[in-house]
């Protein structure tokens, strides 16, 4: 990664935001249908809650498979080209959603079109998000990696906070075409904007194989993937959870989750540099677990809202805290691959959450998935604690 002269915080943030804005466009495309599609598949097309969760999770599986290659292509071709392709794919997902409505009379055809759209969106996510992070790291230098990752996360969950309720409003007014057209328009504008941003020089150097990169970062990724389950259960099934209790305001809970996430990133992201990524992750997992337990025991929508806010606040710093530790394990010319592989664990966690949670709902009801998610996050806490002990042993030995 390139080095840069000393810049003020405002200058650094301005440079980073100029490229992570593409992450915002990407995740707004993800957030718009998030609170609508499960109900559409379940209620309108007549498929089971398991199938509703599977349709949502297809995006995460596509991202999981493509994320490592997205990082490798960003290393080889440069992040700008990767982001441009990603934005095109995000826009294509809106087109497939629009086509699904046109074939609504045939539920199977409509479902297949939605599935294709989710797969395309997953590819677009991996390219756009990974490329934006690497673009920002090239612009401001690897010493600011935590800042870049944190701002990328702010863009991600600010988009989710806006996207979920906006998607519900557009769906109420215009149906699925309302947000499908908006997704396509955002992709067009984002592509035009990206072409106006300067590209960065690709770092030259020996690139190690995927298996060696994986061996250096997999424990950090595993903890990330387990911690992601809390987000997955809220994002995919909070609407069904509220419906099972005859409450309204599911989209508001999604917004609170995202606001808690963004607030923690803005206020406490500098704690990663002060206390280290492992310590910050341990505190984060503890807060996330408490939030999930509150949702599980939620006796009112207010209690669930507080639980969602705590879950978002806890999950907020997990990705940058463990991510900074992960990319430190490789040389600059391999950091795209490391970031892609590390991020793939997040996608894997989200991917398995939907169908597994759907199975749990079928046997023990929707409340059970939040207890299960809390247990999984507690397991992530235990592994991170073990990772901290291993790190101390290595430091003492050296």
Band (pLDDT 50/70/90 cuts) for residue 306 is very high
Q: Please write the tens of the pLDDT for every residue from 313-364.
A: 999 899 889 988 888 887 777 777 788 788 778 878 877 787 788 788 877 8
With beta carbons less than 8 A apart as the criterion, state whether 318 and 224 touch.
Answer: yes
Instruction: Quickly tell me which residue has 């996360």 as its tokens.
Output: 153
- Where along the chain do its domains lie? 9-397
Q: Please write the tens of the pLDDT for every residue from 197-215.
A: 887 766 655 666 777 888 8
Query: What CATH code is assigned to 9-397?
Result: 1.20.1250.20
Q: What is the mean pLDDT of residues 76-88?
A: 91
Q: Who has greater pLDDT, 273 or 227? A: 227
Q: Please write the tens of the pLDDT for every residue from 353-365.
A: 877 887 888 778 8
pLDDT > 50? residue 1: no
Q: Please write the tens of the pLDDT for every residue from 108-160.
A: 999 999 999 999 999 999 999 989 988 988 888 767 777 888 888 788 877 87
SS3 270: coil
Tally of CB atoms within 10 A around 78 = 20
The whole-number pLDDT of residue 84 equals 96
Highest mean pLDDT, choosing among 127-141, 150-164, 282-296, 378-392: 282-296
Q: What is the residue-averaged pLDDT of the chain? A: 85
Q: Which two tokens stand for residue 128?
A: 């756009």
With beta carbons less than 8 A apart as the criterion, state whether 48 and 249 touch.
Answer: no
Q: Where are the alpha helices (DSSP H) in the chain?
A: 9-34, 37-39, 49-77, 79-102, 107-140, 145-174, 176-195, 210-227, 229-244, 250-268, 271-275, 277-296, 301-316, 318-327, 335-364, 368-397
With beta carbons less than 8 A apart as the criterion, state whether 22 and 28 touch.
Answer: no
Model-level pTM? 0.74
């Amino acid at each position: 990664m390139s080095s840069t002269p000393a810049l003020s915080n405002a200058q650094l943030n301005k440079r980073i935001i100029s490229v992570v804005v593409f992450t915002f466009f990407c995740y707004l495309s993800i957030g718009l249908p998030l609170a609508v599609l499960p109900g559409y598949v379940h209620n309108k097309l007549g498929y089971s809650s398991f199938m509703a969760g599977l349709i949502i999770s297809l995006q995460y599986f596509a991202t999981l498979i493509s994320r490592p290659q997205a990082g490798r292509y960003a290393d080889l071709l440069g992040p700008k080209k990767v982001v441009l392709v990603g934005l095109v794919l995000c826009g294509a997902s809106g087109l497939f959603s629009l086509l699904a409505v046109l074939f609504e009379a045939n539920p199977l055809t409509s479902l297949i079109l939605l599935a294709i759209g989710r797969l395309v969106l997953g590819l677009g996510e991996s390219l756009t998000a990974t490329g934006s992070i690497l673009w920002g790291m090239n612009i401001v230098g690897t010493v600011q990696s935590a800042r870049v990752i944190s701002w990328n996360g702010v863009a991600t969950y600010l988009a989710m906070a806006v996207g979920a309720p906006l998607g519900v409003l557009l769906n109420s007014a215009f149906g699925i075409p309302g947000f499908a057209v908006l997704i396509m328009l955002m992709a067009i504008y984002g592509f035009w904007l990206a072409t106006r941003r300067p590209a960065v020089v690709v770092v030259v150097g020996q690139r190690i194989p995927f298996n060696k990169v994986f061996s250096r970062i997999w424990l950090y990724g595993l903890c990330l993937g387990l911690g992601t389950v809390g987000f997955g259960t809220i994002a995919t099934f909070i609407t069904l959870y509220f419906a099972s209790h005859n409450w309204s305001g599911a989209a508001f809970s999604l917004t609170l989750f995202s606001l808690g996430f963004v607030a923690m990133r803005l206020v406490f992201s500098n704690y990663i540099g002060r206390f280290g990524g492992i310590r910050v992750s341990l505190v984060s997992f503890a807060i996330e677990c408490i939030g999930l337990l509150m949702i599980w025991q939620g006796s009112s929508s207010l209690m669930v809202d507080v639980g969602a806010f705590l879950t978002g606040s806890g999950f907020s710093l997990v990705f940058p805290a463990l991510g900074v530790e992960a990319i430190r394990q490789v040389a600059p010319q391999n950091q795209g691959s490391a970031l892609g592989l590390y991020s793939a664990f997040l996608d894997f966690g989200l991917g398995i959450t939907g169908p597994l949670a759907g199975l749990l709902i079928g046997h023990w009801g929707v409340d059970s998935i939040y207890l299960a998610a809390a247990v999984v996050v507690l397991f992530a806490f235990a592994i991170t604690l073990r990772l901290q002990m291993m790190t101390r042993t290595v430091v003492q030995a050296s």
